[in-house]
């Protein structure tokens, strides 16, 4: 596979994201806000209202994630940022903080159909680690799905596969309710 060019989502790349996510906002009107809002907000705002909130993040230059381009075509997305930006992680019994180590969280991947299973997510993960390091992160965390017990539907794999994180040097630091929490240094 050719090398992916990984770029931050900035206001000037918003239209690229719209093309990748399509009218459904990647999946079920999510607009990559699942981790940032409460369940009640998600249910009430899925679709255009979440899109508007997500656009405000981008317009405020918070860089909620990275885009992956292959030969000029946008083929993937990864969402990341300091853990504190993702309230759902903080409230989750399975995914709450393990300790007080400051981390950046890698919470979501979206890969364009036709490019899934080709290594795009692996290159986005590598780009996310490098980006977090450039922004001062010493540790990054992920909350992948352990697919070792059978194939999972694409939609269920939005947090990434455990094997991909393992291959990138992450170590499992906790598992609650079957859900792994993995971490690595950005060095």
Are 164 and 125 a contacting pair, CB within 8 Å? yes
pLDDT, residue 148, reads 82
Q: Taking 70 as the threshold, does the pLDDT of residue 152 lie above it?
A: no
CA neighbor of 9 nearest in space, from 78, 111, 72, 73 = 78
Q: Mind listing the pLDDT tens digit for each residue in 136-148?
A: 999 999 999 998 8
Does the pLDDT at position 150 exceed 80? no
- Give all domains of the chain, ordered by start, each with its CATH number: 5-185 (3.40.630.30)
Contacts of residue 14, defined as CB under 8 A and 6 or more positions apart, other chains included, come to: 55, 58
* pLDDT of residue 166 exceeding 90: yes
User: What is the per-residue pLDDT across 36-73, written as a single tens digit (0 to 9) for each?
Assistant: 999 999 999 988 999 999 999 999 988 999 999 999 99
Distance from C-alpha of 98 to C-alpha of 142, rounded to nearest angstrom: 12
Q: What's the 3-state SS for 81-103?
A: EEHHHCHHHHHCCCCCCCCCCCC
Residue 154 has pLDDT above 60, yes or no: no
d(CA 125, CA 80): 10
pLDDT digits (tens, 9 = 90+) for 69-100: 999 999 999 999 999 999 999 999 999 999 99
- The closest of 109, 111, 120, 56 to 79, measured between CA atoms, is 109
pLDDT value at position 20? 96
Mean of the per-residue pLDDT values for the chain?
93
């Amino acid at each position: 596979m050719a090398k992916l060019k990984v770029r931050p989502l900035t206001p000037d790349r918003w239209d690229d994201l719209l093309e990748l996510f399509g009218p459904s906002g990647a999946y079920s009107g999510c607009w990559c806000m699942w981790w940032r809002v409460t369940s009640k907000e998600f249910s009430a705002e899925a679709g255009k209202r979440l899109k508007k909130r997500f656009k405000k993040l981008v317009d405020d230059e918070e860089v909620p994630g990275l885009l992956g381009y292959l030969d000029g075509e946008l083929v993937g997305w990864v969402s990341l940022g300091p853990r504190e930006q993702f309230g759902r992680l903080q409230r989750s019994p399975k995914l709450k903080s393990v300790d007080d180590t400051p981390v950046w969280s890698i919470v979501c991947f979206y890969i364009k159909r036709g490019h899934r299973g080709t290594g795009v997510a692996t290159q986005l993960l590598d780009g996310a680690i490098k980006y977090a390091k450039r922004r001062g992160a010493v540790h990054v965390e992920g909350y992948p799905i352990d697919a070792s017990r059978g194939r999972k539907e694409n939609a269920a794999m939005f947090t990434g596969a455990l094997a991909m994180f393992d291959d990138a040097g992450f170590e499992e630091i906790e598992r609650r309710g079957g859900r792994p929490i993995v971490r690595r240094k950005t060095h």
